[in-house]
Amino acid sequence: MVQSAVLGFPRIGAFRELKKNTEAYWNGKISADQLLAVGKEIRAHNWKLQKDAGVDIIPSNDFSFYDQVLDLSLLFNVIPDRYTKYNLPSLDTYFAMARGLQRKAAENSKAVDVPALEMVKWFDSNYHYVRPTFSHSTEFKLIGSKPIDEYLEAKAQGIETRPVILGPVSYLFLGKPDKDSLDLEPIALLKSLLPVYIQLLKKLAAAGAKEVQVDEPTLVLDMPKKVQAAFKTAYDAFAAEEGLPELILTTYFGDVRPNLSAIKGLKVAGFHFDFVRDPEQLEKVASILGDKQTLSVGVVDGRNIWKNDFAASIALVKKAIKKIGADRVIVATASSLLHTPVDLTNEKKLDSEIKDWFSFATQKLDEVVTIANAISGKDVSEKLAANALSIKNRKEHEINNDAAVQKRTSGIDDAMATRSSPFPKRLAVQKGEFHLPLFPTTTIGSFPQTKDIRVMRSKFTKGTISEEEYTNFIKKEIKGVVDFQEKVGLDVLVHGEPERNDMVQYFGERLKGFAFTTNGWVQSYGSRYVRPPIIVGDVSRPAPMTVKTSVYAQSLTEKPMKGMLTGPITILRWSFPRNDVPQKTQALQLSLALRDEVQDLESAGIHVIQVDEPALREGLPLRAGAERNDYLKWAAESFRVATSGVKDTTQIHSHFCYSDLDPNHIKALDADVVSIEFSKKDDANYIQEFANYPNHIGLGLFDIHSPRVPSKEEFIARIGEIMKSYPAEKFWCNPDCGLKTRKWEETTASLTNMVAAAKYYREKY
Ligand code: GLN
Ligand code: ZN
């Protein structure tokens, strides 16, 4: 019998129970015990679900109140002193590390003021983990028992589980030195960390765990030699111990081949690889297995929502069996299912034909089991037939086969992706068009999304107010924002985006080829979840999406009004993409739809147009090489196709945030002006790198995630700092990102001070 395995299950609950309760705890509405009980309920529910589905190997310790990497830091005592000094209860220390804590002194507690640890993207997913931070004083100690407790909890429920932990090499490699220990290389701590892992593994064995899933996802990254060598050190140390559970060394999200020498010969019970991401690696990875080692074959996608193609998966598993025999093969999810929504059956509004193409985490359980059963020779013919039919229906559906879109996409040529004149010439005519002062000021697009706006939007969605009422409300909001900007003295205005719930969903809802869920939430970080739209077919734009709004906003002012669009890469990255056509094709289809919008805006008198690409950086393939270079090419091409159909006089802006950007990556977009998140960047070299950027650029001057208001003097000092290495004639003044999460008070004060600082420099230069 071939076994089925799941690497991890979403922990947010089918109806976001975890979010609601965690936030209630933060707001003092429920107690720690109540929150812990919710966690317990979710775990019990998930285990039972998997058991009932017939999954053989069910994970434990995949639950987390915030992040599984942070859990490990707490378990191993990797807690910087700034968090321990307040003697908070451990749950509060945990949340303080995750999200910072600011609390006034009260009767029996001191004031607390501590920022969060850094949060970074988990590989190329939209999940973020809390980065472990090591210092010379870090003393690894096993100070908790979460993996053991959760293993026993499942056992008490009558369910045998396989605990999951992040492996030692990945844990260290994903961390960084703390501020006070910048010379420290985390991987150098391996020797002192291993005894703690051994202690943990022994405790798991003593509790009864026979096998542990040890995740080492960094094996899909480029790793320095030192880190590669650490695998042997670590896993040899484990092999030398008596009384440890069997270890399944688990990788996902990519191709392990370049790092195979690092794991070849390790004495683990088996390996897991992601064959959804890279089926080609099967041949090579199977060749490193020892005679007894098992191969866990990841064939059920943990990152996307498409129904598994059973025929293809079964063929792949059979190939593995041919190599090493059925008794050593396990059928598994490719990665944890954390990155997929919980349950498709809760979607009541999806078109039933299209809904049949999807599979969420709960449905994926049945998929691994069915594939394993098929391989084991059980009669699953009905399921296989239904699956084949669904796959066929999808392929043939008209939404997937829009000949006009396909023809237009394949007709894209260099000319469509190139502005008619190079930047210096455009700059000259744009100067004549806009007469902007030096240090022009602008914002990134959104203004505070007040409670009023949310209430009206929800009334409109529910149908309790008419379209006309809603439109009039939005118009009033826009007028307010325009008047405000005039009063503050900004130079290039925006309409404020009050009509947009989300920068991707708003466009998805207006494009053909998208589907939306009601409950399809996926954890992005902590209690923040996203509900990505799904690209279900060829994408096109049936009608203008933003023109009316922008034209109305422009009618209220003499100043240039900036049209505001989301770029092709960001729409693609923040949706579930199709798996039946290359991402490049999807990006280009989006770019054509946006190109039409950009041209319509221009014809309607909007001559400054911003196309946001905050997700450009995160789409970068994990490893250097051909795939990455290729991505950079087609990402830039998509942006240029979207924005190059305009006259020289039209000024194209773009915006980037959330990541350390390489100026070279954005150069190829050839936008006239880019604005980037920058207020927390202190590295002089980094400023210098951007000074060499050829076109105009606004380095974000204030943090929009914080209520803090910088004074005029602070703005002046910051701009002065930048001006040391930066040409004044290229510089724009703007915040880091949109202001939608801020309050009006803070927004007014910050922008007033920013404009005052810009005026100060205008007089100086
Ligand atoms: N224009 C968007 C806004 O201002 C940009 C958001 C983003 O970059 N994440 O909200
Ligand atoms: Zn942004």
Q: Is 440 in the pocket of ligand 1 (CB under 6 A)?
A: no
Going by pLDDT thresholds of 50, 70 and 90, the confidence category of residue 263 is very high
Ion ligand 2 residues within 5 Å by Cβ: 614, 657, 737
Q: What is the pLDDT of the chain when averaged over all its residues?
A: 96
Going by pLDDT thresholds of 50, 70 and 90, the confidence category of residue 128 is very high
Is residue 529 classed exposed, middle or buried when 0-12, 13-18 and 19+ CB atoms within 10 A define those classes? middle
Question: What 3-state DSSP class applies to 651?
Answer: strand
Q: Is 278 in the pocket of ligand 1 (CB under 6 A)?
A: no
Going by pLDDT thresholds of 50, 70 and 90, the confidence category of residue 4 is very high
Active site residue 705: yes
Q: Atom 4 (ligand 1): residue with closest C-alpha? A: 738
Nearest atom, ligand 1, residue 443 CA: 4
Q: Is 737 in the pocket of ligand 1 (CB under 6 A)?
A: yes
Nearest atom, ligand 1, residue 740 CA: 10
Instruction: Select the more confidently predicted residue: 663 or 612.
Output: 612
Among 270, 415, 261, 275, residue whose Cα is nearest residue 332? 275
What pLDDT is stored for residue 445 in this prediction?
98
Going by pLDDT thresholds of 50, 70 and 90, the confidence category of residue 431 is very high
Among 764, 735, 696, 656, residue whose Cα is nearest residue 488? 735
Residue 691 pLDDT more than 90? no
Number of other CB atoms surrounding residue 126 within 10 Å: 18
Going by pLDDT thresholds of 50, 70 and 90, the confidence category of residue 238 is very high
- Dihedral over alpha carbons 571, 577, 582, 586 (to 10 degrees): -40
Among all bound ligands, the one having the nearest atom to the CA of 739 is: 1
Q: Which of 618, 657, 737, 747 to mutate to test the pocket of ligand 1 (most atoms within 8 A of CB)?
A: 737
What pLDDT is stored for residue 38 in this prediction?
98
Each residue of 48-60: pLDDT tens digit? 999 999 999 999 9
What pLDDT is stored for residue 700 in this prediction?
95
What pLDDT is stored for residue 567 in this prediction?
98
ipTM entry:
0.99
Q: Is 279 in the pocket of ligand 1 (CB under 6 A)?
A: no
Each residue of 162-193: pLDDT tens digit? 999 999 999 999 999 998 899 999 999 999 99
Among all bound ligands, the one having the nearest atom to the CA of 497 is: 1
Find the mean pLDDT for residues 372-400.
Answer: 97
Q: How far lies 326's CA from each of 2, 372, 377, 737, in Å?
A: 7, 11, 12, 53
Residue of 45, 339, 495, 705 with catalytic role: 705
For residue 640, give both structure tokens: 């240029």
Q: Phi, psi at residue 249, to the nearest 5°?
A: -75, 120
What distance in angstroms lies between residue 738's CA and the mean position of ligand 2's atoms?
Answer: 6
What pLDDT is stored for residue 257 in this prediction?
96
Q: Atom 8 (ligand 1): residue with closest C-alpha? A: 614
What pLDDT is stored for residue 731 in this prediction?
96
Question: 644 and 419 in contact (C-beta within 8 Å)?
Answer: yes
Residue 109 pLDDT more than 90? no
Q: Is 307 in the pocket of ligand 1 (CB under 6 A)?
A: no
Find the mean pLDDT for residues 573-585.
Answer: 97
What pLDDT is stored for residue 428 in this prediction?
97
What distance in angstroms lies between residue 383's CA and the mean position of ligand 1's atoms?
Answer: 44
Q: DSSP for 531-570, please give it.
A: ---EEEEEEE-SS-SSHHHHHHHHTT-SSPBEEEEE-HHH
Question: What 3-state DSSP class applies to 764?
Answer: helix
What pLDDT is stored for residue 473 in this prediction?
98
Residue 682 pLDDT more than 80? no
Each residue of 462-487: pLDDT tens digit? 999 999 999 999 999 999 999 999 99
Q: Is 615 in the pocket of ligand 1 (CB under 6 A)?
A: no
Nearest atom, ligand 1, residue 614 CA: 8
Going by pLDDT thresholds of 50, 70 and 90, the confidence category of residue 115 is confident
Going by pLDDT thresholds of 50, 70 and 90, the confidence category of residue 685 is confident
Each residue of 700-718: pLDDT tens digit? 999 898 888 999 999 999 9
Q: Is 503 in the pocket of ligand 1 (CB under 6 A)?
A: yes
What pLDDT is stored for residue 683 in this prediction?
75
Residue 501 pLDDT more than 90? no
Q: Above pLDDT 90, what percent of the chain?
A: 92
What pLDDT is stored for residue 687 in this prediction?
83
Instruction: Select the more confidently predicted residue: 681 or 301.
Output: 301
Q: Which of 497, 569, 653, 751 to mutate to test the pocket of ligand 1 (most atoms within 8 A of CB)?
A: 497
Question: 262 and 231 in contact (C-beta within 8 Å)?
Answer: yes
Find the mean pLDDT for residues 223-230.
Answer: 97
As a whole number of angstroms, the distance between CA 646 and CA 215 comes to 49
Q: Atom 6 (ligand 1): residue with closest C-alpha? A: 738
What pLDDT is stored for residue 662 in this prediction?
87
Residue 628 pLDDT more than 80? yes
